[in-house]
């Protein structure tokens, strides 16, 4: 988690739900887009690494996920041993840098799933970026 990547954090913190703790073993594919399985109507989190090869910062200001009723950027924090997360309005990816959306850090919260997502499925996410750009991610569902 990179504090530079967070431009603004909204005040509301909620108790950690779908962002459950991960294992501590380094996963070489951790940067590949993926989500955890979840049932219809539930929430899940999207993890990926956003690279910025350009010489200007990129601002991620929105996200849409095909299977989710609502999606937003979240940041996970630890307050006196209790995991919480807060909505983040936008995320800055520095020039020639990257920001990891990963367990226990920044992630995309997908809520109100229209359908169950199961291991082996693929979802499509659109990341809205300034300057004008939209990136489409295909994320595998996996444990
Ligand atoms: Cu979250």
Q: Ligand 1 center to residue 88 CA distance, Å? A: 10
Three-class SS state of 5: helix
Mean pLDDT by 10 residues, the chain (143 residues): 40 37 42 92 95 93 96 91 91 95 93 96 94 87 90
In a domain, 25, yes or no: no
What pLDDT is stored for residue 87 in this prediction?
A: 95
Cα separations in angstroms, 108 against 56, 74, 77 = 23, 6, 14
In a domain, 106, yes or no: yes
In a domain, 37, yes or no: yes
| Residue 102's CATH number | 2.60.40.1890
Number of structural domains the chain divides into: 1
What pLDDT is stored for residue 123 in this prediction?
A: 95
For the residues of 61-125, what is the DSSP string, one character each? EEEEETTEEEEEEEEEEEETTEEEEEEEEEEEE-TTEEEEE-TTSEEEEEEEESS-B-TT-EEEE
Q: Ligand 1 center to residue 112 CA distance, Å? A: 13
In a domain, 23, yes or no: no
Q: Ligand 1 center to residue 57 CA distance, Å? A: 24
What pLDDT is stored for residue 30 in this prediction?
A: 55
Range of 87's domain? 3-18+32-141
What pLDDT is stored for residue 80 in this prediction?
A: 83
In a domain, 73, yes or no: yes
In a domain, 27, yes or no: no
What pLDDT is stored for residue 11 in this prediction?
A: 34
What pLDDT is stored for residue 33 in this prediction?
A: 92
In a domain, 14, yes or no: yes
In a domain, 78, yes or no: yes
Q: Ligand 1 center to residue 128 CA distance, Å? A: 18
């Amino acid at each position: 988690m990179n504090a530079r990547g967070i431009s603004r954090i909204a005040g509301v913190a909620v108790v950690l739900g779908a962002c459950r703790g991960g294992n501590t073993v380094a996963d070489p594919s951790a940067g590949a887009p993926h989500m955890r399985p979840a049932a219809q109507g539930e929430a899940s989190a999207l993890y990926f690494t956003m690279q910025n090869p350009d010489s200007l910062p990129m601002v991620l200001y929105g996200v849409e996920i095909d299977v989710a009723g609502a999606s937003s950027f979240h940041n996970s924090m630890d307050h006196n041993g209790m995991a919480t997360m807060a909505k983040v309005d936008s995320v800055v990816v520095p020039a020639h840098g990257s920001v990891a959306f990963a367990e226990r850090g920044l992630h995309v919260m997908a809520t109100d799933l229209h359908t169950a997502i199961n291991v082996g499925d693929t979802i499509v996410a659109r990341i809205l970026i300034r300057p004008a750009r939209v990136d489409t991610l295909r994320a595998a569902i996996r444990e």
